[in-house]
Amino acid sequence: YWGLVFRHISPYMWASLGCALAIGLSVAGAAWGIFLTGSSLVGAAVKAPRITSKNLISVIFCEAAAIYGVITAIILQTKVEDVPIGSDGEWSVKILKAGYAVFGSGLCVGLSNLVCGICVGIVGSSCALADAQNSTLFVKILVIEIFGSALGLFGVIVAIIISASAVFK
Amino acid sequence: QALNQVHKCTRGNAMEMATFNLKDGYVEAILRGYKGSLLKSGDYALMCQCENLDDLKMHLSTTTYGNLVSEVDVGGANTTTQLIECCTEKFVEEFEYLQCQAEGTLYHFLEMCRIPHMIDNVVLIVSGCLHNQHTPELLEKCHPLGMFDAIASLAVAANMQELYQLVLIDTPLGKYFEGSLSREDLTEMHLEIMRNMLYKCWIEDFNAFCSKVGGTTREVMGRFLSFEADRRAIAIASNSVGTELTHDDKKSLFCKFGSLYPYGQKDLAQAEDHDEILKVLSDYSPYNRLLALASADDDLMIDEILSGQELDLCKESFTQQFHYGVFWAYIKMKEQELRNL
């Protein structure tokens, strides 16, 4: 019964959802991370103004999460091509597969950048506070942020590999 | 006690780290900036080498106390008190800035931090009136963090009932009076009992508030407040040695939590002199360790040992981020710094 339901849902719905999630969730993660870092940075910079320029790196790492989402969404969107429904009223397996692949790809990059953004945000906030007290700590905590930022990168790589198999025509 | 701690930790708020900065990130960062400019051992060493108040003033003006201190006229009569008043003013300014930037839960937390000062001010004014001192002089001696609107009209009250109904019912202290009203006139003894009752109600209220906030705040403030409860219990026990306070009275002044609750408090209430108090404490950690350190160095009094322990707890609280305990810790550290000065 469920198979019947899913076979008749248009694969273009899945594809559109995938594109939307790719950019929507990534930007949510990046925004979350930026406010986490930014509020601490602004407060800590009151007493230690020297930290402002270096700690913008944390904000840039958060931003990268959003950029990964944009790239993936654009790639996914270019994959979607209009193919009419088959003569027997059923979508062909190839099109169904392509729709699911775009959806999965978008979800993959969206979720991984969501959590990556939060992670980099929390670490960036601690980095700003620590840098304000003792400037030797900055580079050491930055290494943690780099590892956190790699999570988003993993998401993009896998998403692009998945979407490579999504061929509508 | 250890099981309690574990249980508390496991009920922490999962998204606490990710949502704390939403409202309180800026304020916490400002507070950590303030903490970074507390006087360090190098500053104290320099100040100890000062020959007179002029040098001291010069050193103070290189620290954060900077411009406020330079207005103090060194040749005048009460220079020491003026200097300290300037420094206290700076502290109060910082606190009020934090409070006006805070919103919601943090604002209430800071309000609760002010209440011990309010209690002290109320007791100061009432006891001053008993000795027929003038209200304006008393108001000057009050701690600025504990001022509230109706404080000047405290002087008119003749007994506790009036005190409560005329003045205190509208203030934040109002709810701490419930259950402890009596028809007696205000004498020195009863003032002390009133003060301790108010403190007890406040600590329990604060503990309930922090438990409701949950997460790391509950954990950190739980440590602070149970230490505070223990400390008050020890202070009440040692101050009431030799007075006519009964065991039950003493027990009613102890808080219902802390590592000394309930058996330690029962023993403390029955202790008749200082040696018995020390004997009771030596059964409880960390007090047994602290007492062992104290007996190694004869000059330390129990008060100093407890202050040292409290400041260690304060330093530890700064190692965790995203909680309100750092605000409380900073207040304690700043007050100690002012006492040192």
> Are the C-beta atoms of B146 and B138 separated by less than 8 Å?
no
- How does the average pLDDT of chain B come out, rounded? 79
pLDDT at B6: 44
Residues A134-140, mean pLDDT to the nearest whole number: 92
Q: Tell me the pLDDT tens digit for each residue of B311-334.
A: 989 988 999 888 899 999 999 999
Q: What is the distance between the alpha carbons of residues B135 and B153, in angstroms, rounded to a whole number? A: 9
Cβ pair A41:B29 closer than 8 A: yes
Q: For residue A101, is pLDDT > 90?
A: yes
The answer to whether residue A110 scores a pLDDT higher than 90 is yes
CB-nearest partner of A122 from B18, B27, B28 = B18
Q: Which of B15, B17, B40 to mutate to test the interface with A (most CBs of A within 10 A)?
A: B17
- Segment A100-114 shows an average pLDDT of 95
CB-based contact B32 A32, cutoff 8 Å:
no
Is B75's pLDDT higher than 90?
no
ipTM (interface pTM): 0.85
Using a CB-CB distance cutoff of 8 angstroms, which residues of chain A are in contact with residue B25?
35-36, 39-40, 43, 125
> pLDDT tier at B76 (50, 70, 90 boundaries)?
low
Give per-residue pLDDT as tens, B260-292.
Answer: 777 777 777 777 777 777 777 777 767 777 777
Are B277 and B234 in contact by the 8 Å Cβ rule? The answer is yes
Measured between CA atoms, the residue of chain A closest to residue B38 is: A133
Share of chain A above pLDDT 90, in %: 78
Cis omega (within 30 of 0) for bond into B286: yes
Contact assessment for residue B73 and residue B62, using Cβ atoms and an 8 Å cutoff: no
Q: Using DSSP, state whether B298 is helix, strand or coil.
A: coil
- Beta carbons of A80 and A102 less than 8 angstroms apart: yes
Closest partner CB to A126 (pick from B27, B34, B321): B321
Q: A60-70 pLDDT, tens per residue?
A: 999 999 999 99
> pTM (2 decimals)?
0.85
Q: Provide the pLDDT for residue B188.
A: 64
The letter for the amino acid at B259 is: S
Is B29–A43 a contact, with Cβ atoms under 8 angstroms apart?
Answer: yes
Which burial class, exposed, middle or buried, applies to B214 when counting CB atoms under 10 A from its CB (0-12, 13-18, 19+)? Answer: middle
Most confident residue range from A44-48, B65-69, B72-76, B262-266: A44-48
pLDDT at B153 over 90: no
A135 touches chain B (CB under 8 A): no
**Is B28 close to A128, i.e. CB distance below 8 A?**
no
Q: Are A141 and A79 in contact (CB under 8 A)?
A: no
- Give the Cα separation of A75 and B296 in Å (integer): 73
Q: Is B312 left (phi over 0), alpha (psi -120 to 50) or beta?
A: alpha
Q: Does residue B252 surpass a pLDDT of 60? A: yes
Per-chain mean pLDDT for chain A: 92
User: What is the per-residue pLDDT for B5?
Assistant: 47
pLDDT > 90? residue A88: no
Interface mutation target, options B22, B23, B26, B40, chain A, most CBs of A under 10 Å: B26
Q: Does A115 touch chain B (CB under 8 A)?
A: no
Contacts of A119 (CB under 8 A, 6+ apart): A33, A148, A151
Question: Residue A30's pLDDT is what?
Answer: 96
- Confirm if A72 and A109 have CB atoms less than 8 A apart: yes
Do residues A17 and A103 touch, judged by C-beta distance below 8 A?
Answer: yes
Confidence of residue B155 (pLDDT cuts 50, 70, 90): low
Q: How far is CA A132 from the centre of its chain?
A: 30
Structure tokens at B107: 């604002």
pLDDT at B296: 66
Closest chain A residue to the Cα of B34, Cα to Cα:
A47
| Chain A nearest CA to B8, separation (Å) | 23
What pLDDT score was predicted for residue A92? 87
Question: Taking residues B84-96, what's their average pLDDT?
Answer: 87
CA atoms within 13 A on the CB side of B156: 10
Nearest to A111 by CA among A78, A163, A151, A160: A151
